Chains A and B, each alone.
Chain A
Amino acid sequence: MKAIDHEDLLLLTEEPVQELPHTIRMRLDETFLMLDDIQPMKAEERRRKRWVRRSLLITLGAAAAGVLLIGSGFVSPVMAQALKQIPFIESVFKQAGDRGLQKASEEGFTTNANQNITHNGVTISLSEVMYDGSRLNLVLNRDKLPVKKTSGSGRDWIRSSTLGLNNIEFYVNGSWVNTGMSLASGGGEAPNAIIVTALNSPNLHIPDEFELKMLVKLDDVPEPFEFKLPVKKVKDGNVVITPAEMKIFDYIHMKVAKLEITPVTTRLDMEITGEKGQNLRDIANAIPEKYKITDFIQIDYDLTDDQGVLQKSIGASGSGEEDHYSYTTSYEPFAAIPKFVTVKPYVYVTKTRQKNYIPELEFTVQVK
């Protein structure tokens, strides 16, 4: 018998029916009646799902910064799988803040919110807060840690290491903010504390001063812990640069959307677009496989100063909107403001543990 080819299979085309059988018609009519009892979801519930690049901050953050970073419950199944496979290194327990936060603390850029809330016998307290315009950091403490599970799975490990936290919702001046969130362990000295980083996602427009509301949700306490506090940007005089230059290589249209240098953080916002009129999927489809992992663009960004010194990444996130992908990476602050910085995009190859740089898409950004 010959090989089954296209022609053989074409013969299998089914004649489409033009009318629904009676039984199906009845079931559908019954289904339409059932809609009265269904409450459609709120539109905002969907937005979190767009944060497909949470995994980036897991791989980058956990390995590079030695902190535990977790997406707040909106990872896709593929990403969740990837998340489980990340080896958690011991240093996540040891290390507390990054250098920027250490500096903020030393130089008095932080405030002490000093708020405690108790539900069901569990007290959550909010202490240090820092906002430098590029990220919000705060410290949460839980008096009694949840019972540790012993299954040894990554998820249980995360739960027990993050105070049993389920999620935190952030509201700025009363409006819910579609921000990512990452958590770092308080370290050996403060095992009941975590450092939360938020408001560092791309395309957020946060004012210099605002009223912050936070709903902290724990797995084992049904009622959320609601904190409210005024937040003010630590210091004016951040350097903000928005170069217009666009580079195109291998169908990737890339630009530096914003570089923001604060005393506490260096934040890089990158943008990838495609040809005019292309939507997110068209853009991703056009880009060769070597830049993608399971269809997601996986380009990360190294940043060096004018001496060629590689800056330490402390977290990253990304999202897609209509016709462009936005990626934000935060780095520890510069020792001194450089004359220029170089942005070096690369793809991390897990197998070889190597960064494959893309020199064609390298940017030099003048700072002074």
Chain B
Amino acid sequence: MNIDFLEAEVKRAQQGNKDAFIALIKKMEVRMYNIARAIVKKDEDCADAMQETILKAYKSLPTLRNPAYFKTWICRILINECNTLLRKKSKTVSMAEPPEAVFFPKASDEHMDLREAVYRLEEAQRTIVILHYFQDMPIRQIADILELSESTVKTRLYRARIRLTHWLKEPVAREVRL
């Protein structure tokens, strides 16, 4: 979609044209799904996060200042919703059952381990690793979406790699990060 056209569509949507808004969402819904799935994994959670994102975006669409940022803005809301959902779930788990020890063995399927370990990173690092490596998103774009500087994004990636190395190098029992 060329940029002028996108902006015109966003402006129409901002003026209350619901169909224009739906058309815009439809153009990026597959992308949204891929991002959501990378963060929350389960389809059921993806659906919740996407639904909440669409409703929130529609409600606050007139507050979007620059129509050119529509996609970035939607992604930002979506990522927030996904992380909120994960936080809620981890709270529910912690109340339902005590945290159990998790073991990171030097298993044969190293990638499997690494992927799982990524999900145990703290949220700020995890989101960036997922977007950059799982979703192949450029650092510039991540910085825009998360409203961070590129150097902050790079620093967090670097720290995440150190943390992952540490975890996978020295398999010890640890508590689940809740």
* Chain A residues in the interface with B (C-beta under 8 A): 1, 3-6, 8-14, 16-21, 23-24, 27-28, 30-32, 34-36, 38-43, 45-46, 49, 279, 281, 285, 295
Contact A35–B47 (Cβ < 8 Å):
no
B contact residues around A31 at 8 Å (CB): 50-51, 54-55
* Min distance, Cβ B61 to any Cβ of chain A, angstroms: 6
- Complex alpha-carbon distance, A39 and B136, angstroms: 36
| CB contact under 8 A between A24 and B33, given known A12-B111, A41-B60 | yes
A contact residues around B16 at 8 Å (CB): 40
Give me 29 A-to-B residue pairs in the complex whose CB atoms sit less than 8 angstroms apart, sorted by A's number.
A3-B165, A3-B169, A4-B161, A4-B168, A5-B161, A9-B114, A9-B129, A9-B164, A10-B133, A13-B133, A13-B134, A16-B34, A16-B135, A17-B37, A20-B29, A23-B43, A24-B47, A28-B25, A28-B29, A32-B22, A35-B18, A38-B58, A38-B59, A40-B60, A41-B59, A45-B62, A45-B63, A281-B144, A281-B147
| CB contact under 8 A between A9 and B133, given known A20-B30, A27-B47, A35-B22 | yes
- Complex alpha-carbon distance, A38 and B59, angstroms: 7
Nearest to A1 among chain B residues (CB) is B169
B contact residues around A5 at 8 Å (CB): 161
Contact B30–A17 (Cβ < 8 Å):
yes
B contact residues around A39 at 8 Å (CB): 59
Considering residues A13, A20, A42, which has the most beta carbons from chain B within 10 angstroms of its beta carbon?
A20
Contact B55–A35 (Cβ < 8 Å):
yes
Q: Mark B42-66, 1 if CB is under 8 A from A, else 0.
A: 0110110011001100111111011
Nearest to B170 among chain A residues (CB) is A1
- Complex alpha-carbon distance, A40 and B15, angstroms: 10
* B115 at the binding interface (Cβ < 8 Å): yes
* Min distance, Cβ B91 to any Cβ of chain A, angstroms: 19
**Contacting residues of chain B (60-118) with chain A, CB-CB under 8 angstroms:** 60-63, 65-66, 106, 111, 114-115, 118
- Complex alpha-carbon distance, A8 and B162, angstroms: 13
Nearest to A292 among chain B residues (CB) is B149
Contact B34–A14 (Cβ < 8 Å):
yes
B contact residues around A8 at 8 Å (CB): 114
Using a Cβ–Cβ cut-off of 8 Å, how many residues does chain B contribute to the interface with A?
A: 51
Considering residues A4, A5, A11, which has the most beta carbons from chain B within 10 angstroms of its beta carbon?
A4
Contact B61–A40 (Cβ < 8 Å):
yes
A contact residues around B38 at 8 Å (CB): 14
- Complex alpha-carbon distance, A41 and B133, angstroms: 36
- Complex alpha-carbon distance, A35 and B43, angstroms: 22
Contact B165–A11 (Cβ < 8 Å):
no
Considering residues A35, A39, A42, which has the most beta carbons from chain B within 10 angstroms of its beta carbon?
A35
B contact residues around A279 at 8 Å (CB): 66
A contact residues around B29 at 8 Å (CB): 20, 28
B contact residues around A285 at 8 Å (CB): 149-150
B contact residues around A17 at 8 Å (CB): 30, 33-34, 37
- Complex alpha-carbon distance, A41 and B63, angstroms: 7
* Min distance, Cβ A113 to any Cβ of chain B, angstroms: 34
9 further A-B contacts with Cβ under 8 Å, apart from A17-B33, A20-B29, are A1-B168, A3-B165, A9-B133, A12-B118, A14-B134, A38-B58, A41-B63, A43-B14, A45-B63
- Complex alpha-carbon distance, A281 and B165, angstroms: 33
- Complex alpha-carbon distance, A17 and B14, angstroms: 30
Considering residues A6, A12, A35, A49, which has the most beta carbons from chain B within 10 angstroms of its beta carbon?
A12
| CB contact under 8 A between A28 and B111, given known A12-B133, A14-B135, A17-B34 | no
Considering residues A3, A36, A45, which has the most beta carbons from chain B within 10 angstroms of its beta carbon?
A3
- Complex alpha-carbon distance, A16 and B33, angstroms: 9
- Complex alpha-carbon distance, A18 and B29, angstroms: 10
Contact B50–A28 (Cβ < 8 Å):
yes
- Complex alpha-carbon distance, A73 and B132, angstroms: 36
- Complex alpha-carbon distance, A6 and B132, angstroms: 10
Nearest to B31 among chain A residues (CB) is A16
> Which of A6, A20, A40, A281 touches B59 (beta carbons < 8 Å)?
A40
